[in-house]
Amino acid sequence: MRQAGRSLPEYRRAREGTAMLDACLTPELASELTLQPVRRHDVDAAIFFSDIVVPLRLAGVDVDIKPGVGPVLGRAVRTADDVAALPSVEDDAFSAALAPVRDGVALTVAALGSTPLIGFAGAPFTLAAYMVEGGPSRDHLAARTLMHADPQTWQALTAWTADVTGAFLRAQVLAGASAAQLFDSWAGSLSLADYTTHVAPASSRALAPVRDLGVPVVHFGTGTGELLVAMRDVGADVVGVDYRIPLDEANRRLGGSVPLQGNIDPALLAAPWPVLEAHVRDVVARGASAPGHVVNLGHGVPPETDPDVLTRVVRLVHGIDG
């Protein structure tokens, strides 16, 4: 998970005095924060340090991350005129704005050597939900209302967020990332019908810019057990599964068609080691039913997690035969 470093004391020292979005857009710092979990835990891949709203900031949207709150927009986007007023992402200005991302990825890839780097971007629905709500939301009611009350405006907005995400992912892959992960934090608020009709086309559009680059695509969402097949069908090579559904059941729902990523429950990182160890072994055993399994958390690393526990989990997984 992209939040892997935030439990590390070296992460907090490096970030001290630097706002989140500034950290993401300072190539040397973004690279250092990406590398820290690899050095500390000896994981098999790195995930580029970024945030879901970074491409919105680069596109010219007034957005910031407020500590303790999350991403907050200067103005919500809820009408056709609001969407029409969004900055163009088809001109040279947006491409030039992506330079810190390309530079950060290139620095990281050079430092990683043979360890692969996974690029990262928020999915169009999650970006659009933030824009319509104006900030974090528990039920994304305004976004879900817009998709039905004014489907043309919703389609225009998600086409725009898809193009932002696609350019952001493509820049990372062209700079050296070995895979791309599309992260749909809020898709779990949707019904399957709403996802298929109002979201899947935009997610497919977001992945189009990396399809010709020959890298695998991971698609992850939270609370998306009922959407797994639809999420695969937008063009994913690997489906990420959160902690709410066992991997063998996820594999059954997907018909054994794709490798899975997941899905250690972050809550158990603070449990006694015998409890966590049994859980990790169970996750690995259930993942063995899939065509492939990238062992990972089923959501982000809690900041208060003991880093030594994460290192111990990695060693455990590396030591399991199979």
Q: Is residue 320 part of a domain?
A: no
Cα distances from 239 to residues 18, 107, 229, in angstroms, run: 33, 28, 9
Phi and psi at residue 72, in whole multiples of 5°?
Answer: -135, 130
Q: Is residue 138 part of a domain?
A: yes
Overall pTM surpassing 0.75 (yes/no): yes
DSSP character string of 132-157: HHSS--SS-HHHHHHHHH-HHHHHHH
Which whole number is the average pLDDT over 285-296? 96
Q: Is residue 57 part of a domain?
A: yes
The total number of residues shown for the chain amounts to: 322
| Alpha carbons within 13 A on the beta-carbon side of 175 | 27
Of the candidates 161, 86, 176, the one whose C-alpha atom is nearest the C-alpha of residue 130 is 161
Q: Is residue 295 part of a domain?
A: no
Mean predicted lDDT score pLDDT of the chain: 95
CA distance 45 to 108: 12
Q: Which domain holds residue 190?
A: 4-240
Q: Catalytic pick from 130, 170, 195, 265?
A: 130
pLDDT for 183-233, tens place per residue? 999 999 999 999 999 999 999 999 999 999 999 999 999 999 999 999 999
Residue 6: active-site member? yes
pLDDT of residue 120: 93
Residue 195: active-site member? no
Q: If pLDDT is split at 50, 70 and 90, which confidence band does 137 have?
A: confident
Residue 51: active-site member? yes
pLDDT of residue 2: 57
Q: Is residue 33 part of a domain?
A: yes
pLDDT for 96-127, tens place per residue? 999 999 999 999 999 999 999 999 999 999 99
Task: Report the CATH number that the domain containing residue 139 is assigned in CATH.
Answer: 3.20.20.210
pLDDT at position 5 over 80: no
Q: Is residue 274 part of a domain?
A: no
Cis peptide before 263 (omega within 30 of 0): yes
pLDDT for 14-34, tens place per residue? 999 999 999 999 999 999 999
Q: Catalytic pick from 6, 57, 78, 170?
A: 6
Q: Is residue 83 part of a domain?
A: yes
Provide the token pair at 182. Answer: 């599309």
Q: Catalytic pick from 11, 51, 163, 265?
A: 51
pLDDT at position 283 over 90: yes
Q: If pLDDT is split at 50, 70 and 90, which confidence band does 321 have?
A: confident
Q: What's the number of domains the chain is made of?
A: 1
Q: Is residue 14 part of a domain?
A: yes
